[in-house]
């Protein structure tokens, strides 16, 4: 199936979002996310890492894998699925259901515009579409997004608990532990400038490389360089605009958290451009955690603009165009095939 299946997905998703406005309850609000989970969970040979995950599944099942390279959460999920005579496709479906559940809870609990936040999550490529490629980190990102509620509530133990759960699927989530102590704080322009200066120092002096070489993340030093295309530049400009657009309304805790996530996203993407001796993939992977904040922060900004209707319409048109472009140019997501074989009935 070609581009049309993604347009049908978008149409059905938006239709369910509209219906959830007409009949607002938890069931109708979850329905659009269930559609996304099923679309993701039943895909076959779609995504960069699809074949790699199939290989990992077989290695775990046949006990031929070095478990030190696979996070325990994913390892035991595969073991449980295999015990139930399930296939790799069931693993994809389980991960998709968990990911979309946490994303739903995140948007429902933080956004002032459920419709627009949900629309952005689907149409902005590095969110939903990217989850086809890195399913383990996609789940870790979703768990982190949900854990933001505990930063608001200042509940350190629950936040740490969720981040540790996220790290069981992607160890990079451990980098998020310090966010509890400053993500809800007001960061002045002076502190932002100091942070920028610090980034210049660490990216140009090799401090990051030395720190990684003696840590559990030393394998990241072998990552290849990503091609920094126009979309990355666009995201850098978007985050820069929101740094200045969002600052005047940064009094509430909710606003400060998502403003700071945007600030972190800006500095992380900037670091990816500035570094040459270290793979920019490291920064872009880290940025995936911060990038999820746009699903909430953009609607927060759009809904406070005086010409709200025009701003809303332009925002929808922009992300619709971005989605169509992503689908048309995304070589790893086409053709879209399905596989409903969840259990190995021959055993």
Helix, strand and coil content of the chain, in percent to the nearest 5, comes to 75, 0, 25
Q: Burial code of 10-20, b = ≥16 C-beta within 10 A, e = fewer?
A: beebbebbeeb
Across 210-223, average pLDDT: 59
Residue 9 has pLDDT above 90, yes or no: yes
| 3-state secondary structure at position 44 | strand
Q: For 21-74, write each residue's pLDDT tens digit.
A: 888 888 899 999 999 999 999 999 888 888 888 888 888 888 776 666 788 999
Mean pLDDT rounded to a whole number for the chain? 85
- In the chain, the percentage of residues whose pLDDT exceeds 90 is 46
Q: For residue 54, count CB atoms less than 10 angstroms from its CB and return exposed for 0-12, middle for 13-18, buried for 19 or more.
A: middle
pLDDT at 316: 93
pLDDT at 125: 78
| Rounded Cα gap, residues 295 and 301, in angstroms | 11
Positive or negative: CA dihedral 243, 249, 250, 253: negative
- Tokens 């451009």 locate to 273
* pTM of the full structure: 0.91
Q: For 303-318, write each residue's pLDDT tens digit.
A: 888 788 898 999 999 9
Q: For 136-193, write each residue's pLDDT tens digit.
A: 999 999 999 999 999 999 999 999 999 999 999 998 899 899 999 989 888 777 777 7
Q: Burial code of 164-199, b = ≥16 C-beta within 10 A, e = fewer?
A: ebbbbbbbbbeebeebbeebbeebeeeebeeeeeeb
Closest CA to 31 of 16, 44, 42, 15: 16
Q: How far is CA 31 from the centre of its chain?
A: 20
Q: Other C-beta atoms within 10 Å of 9: how many?
A: 20
pLDDT at 25: 83
CA atoms within 13 A on the CB side of 279: 16
């Amino acid at each position: 199936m070609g581009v049309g299946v993604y347009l049908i997905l978008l149409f059905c998703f938006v239709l369910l979002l509209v219906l959830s406005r007409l009949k607002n309850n938890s069931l109708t609000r979850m329905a659009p996310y269930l559609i996304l989970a099923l679309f993701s969970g039943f895909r076959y040979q779609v995504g960069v890492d699809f074949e790699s995950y199939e290989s990992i599944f077989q290695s775990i099942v046949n006990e031929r894998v070095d478990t030190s390279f696979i996070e325990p959460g994913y390892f035991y999920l595969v073991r449980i699925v295999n015990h139930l005579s399930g296939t790799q496709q069931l693993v994809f479906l389980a991960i998709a259901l968990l990911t979309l559940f946490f994303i739903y809870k995140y948007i429902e609990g933080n956004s002032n515009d459920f419709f627009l936040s949900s629309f952005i999550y689907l149409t902005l490529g590095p969110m939903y579409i990217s989850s086809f490629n890195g399913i383990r980190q996609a789940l870790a990102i979703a768990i982190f997004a949900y854990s933001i509620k505990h930063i608001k509530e200042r509940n350190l133990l629950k936040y740490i608990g969720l981040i540790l759960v996220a790290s069981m699927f992607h160890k990079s989530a451990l980098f998020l532990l310090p966010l509890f102590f400053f993500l809800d704080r007001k960061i002045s322009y002076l502190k932002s400038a100091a942070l920028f200066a610090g980034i210049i120092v660490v990216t140009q002096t090799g401090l990051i490389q030395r720190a990684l070489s003696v840590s559990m993340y030393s394998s990241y030093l072998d990552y290849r360089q990503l091609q920094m295309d126009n979309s990355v530049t666009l995201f850098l400009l978007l985050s820069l605009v929101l740094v200045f657009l969002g600052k005047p309304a940064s009094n509430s805790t909710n606003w400060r958290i998502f403003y700071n996530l945007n600030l972190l996203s800006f500095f992380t993407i900037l670091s990816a451009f500035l570094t040459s001796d270290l793979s920019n993939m490291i920064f872009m992977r880290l940025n995936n955690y911060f990038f999820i904040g746009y699903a909430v922060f953009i609607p927060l900004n759009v809904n406070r603009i005086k010409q709200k209707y025009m701003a809303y319409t332009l925002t929808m048109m922009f992300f619709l165009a971005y989605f169509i472009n992503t689908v048309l140019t995304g070589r790893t997501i086409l053709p879209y095939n399905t596989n409903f074989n969840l259990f190995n009935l021959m055993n």
